[in-house]
Amino acid sequence: MDLIVARPEGLYCPAGDFYIDPWRPVDRAVITHAHSDHARTGHQHYLAHTDSAGILRARLGRIMLQTVTYGEVIEHHGVRVSLHPAGHVLGSAQVRVEHRGEVWVASGDYKTEADGTCVPFEAVPCHTFITESTFGLPVYRWPAQVELFADINAWWRRNADEGRSSVLFCYAFGKAQRILHGVDASIGPIVVHRAVEPLNAVYREAGVALPTTLRVSDPALDAALLRRALVLAPPSAQGTPWMKRFGAYADAFASGWMQLRGTRRRRGVDRGFVMSDHADWPGLQRAIGGTGAERVMVTHGSVAVLVRWLTEQGLQAQGFKTEYGGDDAADVATPVPVFEAAPEDGA
């Protein structure tokens, strides 16, 4: 019998009688991370990593939440469950499930390059690996962190020298904090949208170093400073009255989808920075290979392409239907729901 199966409610472990990131209300849910497509309301009991607690409670309200550290083992109905770093966002985890010598790992979402804002991805040996494939096409290859931030800093500095605010649209949870952690804060002040700042507070409380951030209404911001500012805002802020406060600004979008010129044009921004909290094509290959798994289940994204590639490598591979696909996946839609650290999502 398979350790994890697909049910209408989500990914289910029959032996342990619990679900992983279920999309419909269940009794027991193990949550890989706090993005809204993986962490939903209505479950009776939640299990997640300690660093996810603040965001989960802010998003979901009063929930019965048990937290564990990476590698800590819980035994439930004879099934050993532990969480391991996914490198996706703060508190993100892969779920290792072991029963009668059989080991499965459900990865949730992950990326393989360390970014300094969360514990780096760790390949967990297993017999069966459940992997995402959001960017499971050979065209998706991310620039190194050093190159990415050199480009962002150069763009910001040039705009500041020309007296224009630099508005960078990015997902509020994960990408915004990566940008804050990686940019050169000496270039000018950093202004954030109201959807971003509560999440910054959770990262700071977890010990992640972020520079000082301001709200656009902060009295310390005069017109001259604002023209030198880097402004971080969620995608849904684009075209709203809030943007009028920045006058003639330069804008850009940070997303893995910026790898494609067509997506950049549709977004209608001056620049596109290729940045994702998901693994690119080489990252998916390395992660899967690192597990030593003989069987791979592929979820949300370019499922057919990755399954075909894995089969060509001699592995057992098949698609696993889920209802995931937020953050980067949602970046291609307009408008995009904002992930906000409040009981309700909003702009």
pLDDT in tens, 273-310: 999 999 999 999 999 999 999 999 999 899 999 999 99
Give 77's pLDDT tier (boundaries 50, 70, 90).
very high
Give 338's pLDDT tier (boundaries 50, 70, 90).
very low
| Residue ranges, CATH 3.40.50, the chain | 145-274
| Residue ranges, CATH 3.60.15.10, the chain | 5-140+277-330
Q: Establish whether the linkage from the previous residue to 335 is cis, with ω within 30° of 0.
A: yes
Share of the chain above pLDDT 70, in %: 93
Q: Are 192 and 215 in contact (CB under 8 A)?
A: yes
For the stretch 112-129, pLDDT in tens is 999 999 999 999 999 999
Checking if the pLDDT of 346 tops 80, the result is no
The domain 145-274 having CATH identifier 3.30.70: the answer here is no
Checking if the pLDDT of 342 tops 90, the result is no
Checking if the pLDDT of 316 tops 80, the result is yes
The class (CATH top level) of 5-140+277-330 is alpha beta
The per-residue b/e assignment along 116-141, b for 16 or more CB within 10 angstroms, e otherwise, is: ebbbebbbbebbbbbbbbbbbbeebe
Checking if the pLDDT of 326 tops 60, the result is no
Question: What pLDDT was estimated at residue 266?
Answer: 72
Question: What pLDDT was estimated at residue 327?
Answer: 53
Amino acid at 251: D
Alpha-carbon gap, residue 274 to 141, rounded angstroms: 9
For the stretch 238-273, pLDDT in tens is 999 999 999 999 999 999 999 987 776 777 899 999
Q: What is the mean pLDDT of residues 75-104?
A: 98
Question: What pLDDT was estimated at residue 32?
Answer: 98
Question: What pLDDT was estimated at residue 343?
Answer: 25
Q: What is the mean pLDDT of residues 90-94?
A: 98
Angle between helices 175-182 and 197-205 (to 10 degrees): 70
Question: What pLDDT was estimated at residue 328?
Answer: 52
Q: Name the phi and psi angles at 319, rounded to 5.
A: -80, 155
Checking if the pLDDT of 159 tops 70, the result is yes
CA angle, 275 then 276 then 277, to 5°: 140
